[in-house]
Chains A and B, each alone.
Chain A
Amino acid sequence: MEFDIRRIAKLALLRLDDAQAERFAAQMADILEMVGKLPEVGDEAMDLDPAHPMLLREDEIFPSLSREDILRNAPQTEAGCFVVPRVVD
């Protein structure tokens, strides 16, 4: 199966140098050969647990974590905000 390792890396926001690209491409080819052998089976409509579908919660506001708690793990903050590179010129 054909694939472009550099394009996939770009989609995944990963950067590969030449040596890595070559190594990963070879490993991916092996893995793809394994998964490529997946046979086609008919369309089975069964859900894993149809008796218990996932339920969504009510759209209600309730107390959560404090700004201080959340910002404690941030790489860079200023005035209670996350600092990021400029996105728009």
Chain B
Amino acid sequence: MSAAALSLAMRRGEVSSAEITKSVFSRIHAVEDRIGAYLTLCEERAMEQAFSIDARRAGGEELLPLAGIPIAIKDNICTKGVRTTCASKMLAHFVPPYDATVAEKLFAAGAVLIGKTNMDEFAMGSSCENSALGHTGNPHDLTRVPGGSSGGSAAALAAGEAVLALGSDTGGSVRQPASFCGVVGLKPTYGAVSRYGLVAFASSFDQIGPLARTVGDAAMLFHAICGFDPRDATSARRKDPDGLNPSDGDIRGLRVGLPREYFGAGVADEVRAAVLSSAEKLRAEGAIIREISLPSTDAALAAYYVIACAEASSNLARFDGVKYGYRAARFENLIDLYETTRSEGFGDEVKRRIMLGTMVLSTGYADAFYRRARRMQRRIASEFAEAFSACDLLLTPTAPTTAFHIGEKTDDPLRMYAADICTVTANLAGLPAISVPCGESGSGMPIGIQLIGPRFSEQLLFFVASYFEKLSGGFKCIAGGL
């Protein structure tokens, strides 16, 4: 059942949070050893939270829609008193002394924490294979990856091990796993959701985003976590967006742009066909579909990796074995402490990105790489702005392929990076983007369609995604055969 339906059922006294939470944990006990979505489970605490919500409701208290709903949180979001590892040896035993703002908001609303989900280490990856602490399979085919870096959150939803989930998206890490696992995932506008308490990867791209099995649920979760936060200096001072109102929008006359650069040779034929066929469905309902061009798309992956890794090299400098986290057992002096701790604590992909970032910022290279990437970023952002003068939103595949096999791309970092080609542009330009399921490949793997809107247009994205959901007869998100 959807979170919205469960919330209503609880309000009507048809079911209790304790029953829902117990049922989620039963499911976890049944399938988790095969899925591996979670790094930490909080069964006892969850049941306590659930009982407490039920008691408050029984006492006549009016509760918020999320009250009593079991939610999974990606393990790079700080939860007070609950281990938060970023799937790294570096933080394997780290217990945050504070809640991230999004966690604070969710717990204040009465959400129940199921546990912390697996991810690529420090959010660096597109398959969840870079986790140092766990292994997650795609519930639709356990020999395939769930996507990354929010693979655990997406897999938990597709396996029925959570009702709602939070992930984070820096270059596609909410949308691509949503696409691979056949669920809904939103990357909000940069600044819409507070990053306070999110362990930073690339500070100018990172956003926490909701994952769910219906568009309505994703919207519900987004509204619970968005909003200005004085503790995040990049948090947008905007009036909180209104709720989704399907009767307000109209598909007829909606101008939808299809940027040709997202449908080229790098995209699998099956994916292209499914996404174009979905666009046709919208055209049949009265939307105006037109092909457009975003000429700098080809340069986006390079610009993204230069900037993201530069910021990551700075952000991950804090992991030095001094104040928290892993510390090497043997070292001779301070520099030795730093080098040994970091070399033992970080996995290969993290080291690669730190080194790339260090290099592109270093003397002699900064002009050729970093400043050039920044100028390209602004060019990409202005091409989007121009596109939005002629279109209300853009429609593309979320990922160039469906979920690949475990181990298929781990030997070749560049091939792995190419999984991000459709998603990094929204991070570069700070735009909101949502992925929803739009079909299946011949081998039964989900295909995702991405809608990108102007800044702070989440309402529009939810409206169109929800319309598409109804046209599709609802998304069948839970993987069969588990």
Contact = CB atoms under 8 A, between A and B. Distances in A.
**Are A and B interaction partners?**
yes
A56 B234 CA distance: 10
B455 interface: yes
Contacts of A24: 348, 351-352, 355
A43 to B, nearest CB: 6
B27 interface: no
A1 B331 CA distance: 35
Interface string B80-99: 00000000000001110110
B140 interface: no
Interface residues of A, number: 50
A28 B455 CA distance: 34
A38 B322 contact: no
Contacts of B230: 57
Nearest to B98: A65
Contacts of B337: 84-85
A70 to B, nearest CB: 6
B356 A38 contact: no
Contacts of A41: 296, 372, 375-376, 379
13 contacts: A5-B355, A11-B362, A12-B358, A24-B351, A24-B352, A31-B413, A32-B359, A35-B302, A36-B369, A41-B379, A49-B430, A82-B323, A84-B322
Interface of B: 93-95, 97-98, 190-191, 230, 233-234, 236-238, 296, 299, 301-303, 305-306, 313, 317, 320-327, 331-340, 342-343, 346, 348, 351-352, 354-356, 358-360, 362, 365, 368-369, 372-373, 375-376, 378-379, 381-382, 413-414, 417, 429-430, 455
Interface of A: 1, 3, 5, 8-9, 11-16, 24, 27-28, 30-32, 34-46, 48-49, 52, 54-57, 65, 69-70, 72-76, 82, 84-87
